[in-house]
Amino acid sequence: METQEIPNEQWIVFLDSFSHQHNGWLATLEVLDTEFGAQTPAQDLPFEGISLNSKEGRPESILISVGRSTGDHLTHRIDHPTHIWLQRTPSGADSALEIESDGDSKTLLRFRSAMSPEFVDDIVV
């Protein structure tokens, strides 16, 4: 597994592009917190998007939305994000995002089935 840290100044553009590219992919959301332990608030729900809220040029929060219009829906908020890592398979397919926030809390957004970017939306580049 290859892991790449996304520089802070690229977060807005990266998250917007990531949201469009992975819209509808089945995702599991895991939260690893030193105070509350490991939790899985969402499992195998369609990914809707991820966005960054900033205040005075500093990242304030990240929102991750997963779910179906007919029910199961979740918007998870990550306050004061400090790092974003993209995990890729050896073949170059996006498999997960890891977001760290103040207090050593980590949120993992994992895809059930990783695909290479050139095969997204049945379009081969």
Task: Express each pLDDT in 66-100 by its tens digit.
Answer: 998 777 889 999 999 999 999 999 988 899 999 99
CA 63, CA 122: separation in Å to the nearest integer? 27
Contact 95, 114 (CB under 8 A): yes
CA 51, CA 63: separation in Å to the nearest integer? 5
pTM to 2 decimal places: 0.84
What digits encode the pLDDT tens for the residues 24-48? 999 999 999 877 789 988 999 999 9
* pLDDT for position 72: 83
CB-neighbour burial class of residue 66 (10 A; exposed 0-12, middle 13-18, buried 19+): buried
Query: Which sign, positive or negative, has the C-alpha torsion 89, 92, 97, 98?
Result: positive
Range of the domain at 14: 2-122
* pLDDT for position 113: 67
Number of domains in the chain: 1
